[in-house]
Structure 1
């Protein structure tokens, strides 16, 4: 499950980089955290290192913790 969520987060961050708008504070913070671990995909490359980092990131709850620090509790 963590691996699937990691892929979803990578895809969401990539999609946000293609859009010309300003997302909300929580989404901006989540993308900022993701980009610390996974760079923008601008050319083909093996994705297993990114996937491995994202899986560990999701398991660590760092995204959630930083988003909650920015916007308040989500629970």
Structure 2
């Protein structure tokens, strides 16, 4: 009786460990994707700033203008 209970607990722990490992893989992958996106956004922001700095005499773009209600 006790052996059956221990075996069931061991099987349950094995399943939980597998689920934990799968979730860990997903979380790690998502963290890596987020890191790549943050780096890409930073690079795009840098490129945009450089582009604006290269043409200081040009009129401000519509993106830089505040809407009339401000």
Q: TM-score, normalised by structure 1?
A: 0.26
User: Higher Cα Rg: structure 1 or 2?
Assistant: 2
Question: Which of structures 1 and 2 has the larger relative contact order (alpha carbons within 8 angstroms, sep 6+)?
Answer: 1
Q: Which structure's residues are more often helix, by fraction?
A: 2
Using structure 2 for the length normalisation, give the TM-score: 0.28
